[in-house]
């Protein structure tokens, strides 16, 4: 109760020590409404205003009394460990508790608003005015998966939440190698990372494993393209089909270009590193004349059709025409030939060509069309003469007959018209045409009677024979020359 002192000269005498209360204020208000004097009005208005202040003061006093009450601070850890509630005096600050824990998450503070987490509670400054619940905010723990491509193309790192699986990146690339997986151990590569099963529980670096890839590249030097071959281990390359090039005959694959001294052997050479092989080409040359003897003017001339097939063979002795053999074809097949009055028909049966009056001459061919045996009647007895041929990669390696054995590259006996259909000419040991020619400068043949016949060969820059010298004790020395169109 407050005491108010005041003076008045009109209307009603009021005790200067009157006790002021809300009831008195209301009474003064009634007097004012009933027409009291202006001065009294002023007095009453002041009494009314002061009364309101008194009422406000009483409420404030009550409020001051209620500030001493207890309020509760609750903690909702949102899945984390329990946090005990606190009882604090109204208007005071709560004590910040120890941070809660939650598996695979990091604690990120207490907030007034759940889910949205916009209003963070600061224990150093915020006071508690009423009961309140604070909510824990959490951040998932993340780890980084780093990829070391060990010399391959770069792979970006991955950020992965705790205990989840990393997404497998696209395989890196590295020239000359094949990618073989990601591993947690470098160099040893014993622990491969399985992206379908392994989970990330810490920062981790994965290392790329590489396997050396050996590549055999074929440079056809103007011929048709040949596909490369690749190997992950040491092995032997497969011999591809021979390339083709107009106006040239394929002469093999070599490690050295232009010089062509190191030929690749697909049977024996192993691929231990990447290598490029180069095609060698021999110019196509058509044999025009074989000069058997300058002294006797003995020579043989050849004529060809538009497909470079032999159509006529003419033999001259002492410069005079001696005989002519004409060859006819049907498609790619040689079907007949005749020399003067002698006529023979060629019949291809499977892998055999027969010719002669009663097919007494027979040539057997292998799967690639190369001759492997030639059989013809003997003029001395009833037993036929048989000649066997052996080839390797298109090159003749041996020809054997009853009285001759040729163990060199190429036989001096045989001229092959084409690699598909063969016409074999048998003059006495002098025909040898590239690319089937021997690369030996000297060939020695031992007859069964012990006679040694030695051939010395000369070749042009394209590998074609241009001269052969024959030496023996019973024939002396003779020279055969080859001339080309």
Residue range 450-459, pLDDT digits in tens: 677 777 778 7
Decide the pairing of beta strands 142-148 and 204-212: parallel
- How much of the chain, in percent, has pLDDT values that exceed 70? 63
In this prediction, residue 334 carries a pLDDT of: 66
> Are the C-beta atoms of residues 77 and 111 closer than 8 Å to each other?
no
What pLDDT digit, counting tens, does each position of 86-112 carry? 999 999 999 999 999 999 999 999 999
- In this prediction, residue 330 has a pLDDT band, given cuts at 50, 70 and 90, of confident
- Sign of the four-CA dihedral 378, 381, 386, 387: negative
Predicted local distance difference test score (pLDDT) of residue 368: 59
Residue 285 confidence (pLDDT) above 60: yes
Q: 328 or 16: which carries more pLDDT confidence?
A: 328
pLDDT at 158 over 80: yes
For residue 323, cis peptide bond before it (omega within 30 degrees of 0) = no
Residues 6+ apart with CB under 8 A from 83: 75, 77, 97, 98, 100, 136
Lowest mean pLDDT among 217-231, 401-415, 444-458: 401-415
CA–CA dist 286, 302 (Å, integer):
9
Provide the H-helix boundaries in 290-417: none
The pLDDT value recorded for residue 312 is 84
pLDDT band at 41 (very low <50, low <70, confident <90, very high): very low
CA atoms within 13 A on the CB side of 204: 24
55 sits in the region (left: phi over 0; alpha: psi -120 to 50; else beta) called alpha
What number of CA atoms fall less than 13 Å from residue 208's CA on the CB side? 23
300: CB partners within 8 A, 6+ apart: 289, 290, 292, 313, 314, 315, 316, 427
* Token duo for residue 28: 């003064």
DSSP state of 184: S
Average pLDDT of the residues in 149-154 = 96
Q: Residue 119 — pLDDT band, cuts 50, 70, 90? A: very high
Name every residue whose Cβ is closer than 8 Å to that of residue 379 and which is 6 or more positions away in sequence: none
- What is the pLDDT confidence band of residue 46, given thresholds at 50, 70 and 90? low
Q: From CA 419, how far away is CA 254, in angstroms rounded?
A: 22
Whether this model's pTM surpasses 0.75: no
| CB-based burial, 91-103: b 16+ in 10 Å, e otherwise | eeebeebebbebe
| pLDDT greater than 90 at residue 200 | yes
For residues 318 and 296, the answer to whether their CB atoms sit within 8 Å is yes
- How far apart are the C-alpha atoms of 289 and 315, rounded to whole Å? 10
| Separation of alpha carbons 364 and 371, rounded Å | 6
CA nearest to 177, candidates 212, 223, 138: 212
Q: Which residue has the higher pLDDT, 305 or 259?
A: 259
438 or 340: which leads in pLDDT: 340
Contacts of 2 (CB under 8 A, 6+ apart): 20, 54, 57
Q: What is the mean pLDDT of the chain?
A: 74
Tell me which residue has tokens 């997404």: 167
Q: Which of 319-328, 355-364, 450-459 has the lowest mean pLDDT?
A: 355-364
Give the tens place of pLDDT for each residue, 237-277: 999 999 988 878 788 999 999 989 999 999 999 999 899 99
- Structure confidence at residue 417 (pLDDT): 33
Position 429 pLDDT exceeds 50: no
pLDDT band at 323 (very low <50, low <70, confident <90, very high): confident
CB neighbours of 342 closer than 8 A, spacing ≥ 6? none
pLDDT confidence bin for 448, thresholds 50/70/90: low
Q: Residue 81: count other Cβ atoms within 10 Å of its Cβ.
A: 13
- Of 147 and 46, the one with more pLDDT: 147
DSSP 8-38: --SSS---TTPBP-HHHHHHHHHHHHTT--H
For 295, counting Cβ atoms within 10 Å of its Cβ (0-12 exposed, 13-18 middle, 19+ buried), the class is exposed
Nearest to 409 by CA among 452, 438, 448, 376: 438
pLDDT digits (tens, 9 = 90+) for 20-35: 444 444 444 444 444 4
pLDDT of 212 > 70? The answer is: yes
Rounded Cα distance, 392 and 408, in Å? 12
- Look at residue 63 in the predicted model and tell me its pLDDT: 47
Confidence at 184, pLDDT banded by 50, 70, 90:
very high
State the Cα–Cα distance between residues 152 and 176, nearest whole angstrom. 10
Lookup result for tokens 């009394």: 65
**Mode of pairing for the β-strands spanning 333-339 and 342-345:** antiparallel
Band (4; pLDDT cuts 50, 70, 90): very low
Q: Which of 10, 50, 15 is nearest to 31 (CA)?
A: 10
Q: Which pLDDT band holds residue 304 (cuts at 50, 70, 90)?
A: confident
Listed in sequence order, the DSSP H helices in 318-471 are: none
């Amino acid at each position: 109760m407050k005491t108010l002192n005041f003076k008045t000269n009109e209307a009603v005498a009021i005790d200067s020590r009157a006790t002021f209360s809300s009831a008195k204020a209301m009474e003064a208000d009634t007097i004012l409404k009933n027409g009291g004097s202006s001065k009294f009005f002023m007095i009453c208005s002041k009494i009314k205003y002061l009364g309101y202040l008194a009422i406000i003061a009483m409420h404030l006093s009550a409020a001051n009394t209620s500030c001493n009450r207890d309020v509760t601070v609750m903690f909702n850890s949102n899945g984390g460990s329990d946090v005990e509630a606190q009882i604090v005096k109204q208007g005071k600050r709560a004590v910040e508790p120890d941070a809660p824990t939650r598996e695979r998450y990091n604690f990120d503070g207490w907030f007034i608003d759940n889910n949205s987490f916009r209003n963070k509670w600061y224990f150093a400054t915020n006071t508690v005015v009423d009961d309140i619940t604070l909510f824990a905010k959490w951040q998932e723990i993340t780890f980084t998966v780093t990829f070391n491509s060990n010399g391959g193309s770069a792979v970006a790192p991955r950020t992965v939440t705790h205990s989840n699986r990393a997404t497998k990146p696209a395989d890196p690339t590295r020239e000359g190698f094949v990618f073989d997986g990601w591993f947690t151990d470098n160099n040893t590569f014993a622990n491969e990372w399985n992206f379908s099963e392994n989970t990330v529980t810490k920062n981790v670096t994965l290392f790329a494993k590489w396997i050396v890839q050996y590549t055999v590249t074929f440079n056809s030097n103007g011929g048709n393209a040949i596909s490369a071959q690749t190997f992950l281990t040491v092995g032997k390359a497969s011999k591809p089909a021979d390339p083709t090039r107009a106006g040239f005959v394929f002469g093999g694959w070599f490690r050295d270009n232009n010089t062509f001294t190191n030929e690749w052997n697909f049977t024996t050479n192993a691929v231990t590193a990447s290598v490029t092989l180069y095609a060698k080409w021999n110019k196509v040359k058509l044999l025009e004349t074989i000069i058997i003897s300058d002294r006797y003017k003995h020579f043989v001339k050849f004529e060809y059709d538009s497909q470079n097939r032999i159509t006529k063979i003419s033999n001259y002795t002492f410069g005079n025409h001696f005989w002519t053999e004409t060859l006819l074809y049907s498609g790619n097949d040689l079907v007949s030939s005749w020399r003067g009055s002698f006529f023979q028909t060629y019949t291809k049966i499977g892998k055999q060509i027969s010719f002669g009056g009663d097919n007494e001459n027979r040539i057997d061919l292998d799967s690639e069309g190369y001759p492997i045996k030639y059989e013809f009647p003997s003029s001395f007895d009833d037993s036929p003469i048989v000649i066997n041929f052996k080839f390797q990669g298109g090159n003749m390696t041996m020809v054997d007959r009853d009285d001759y054995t040729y163990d060199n590259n190429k036989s001096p006996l045989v001229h092959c018209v084409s690699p598909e259909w063969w016409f074999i000419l048998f003059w006495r040991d002098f025909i040898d045409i590239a690319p089937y020619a021997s690369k030996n400068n000297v060939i020695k043949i031992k007859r069964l009677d012990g006679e040694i016949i030695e051939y010395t060969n000369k070749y042009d820059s394209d590998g074609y024979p241009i001269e052969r010298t024959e030496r023996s004790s019973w024939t002396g020395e003779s020279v055969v020359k080859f001339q080309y169109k």
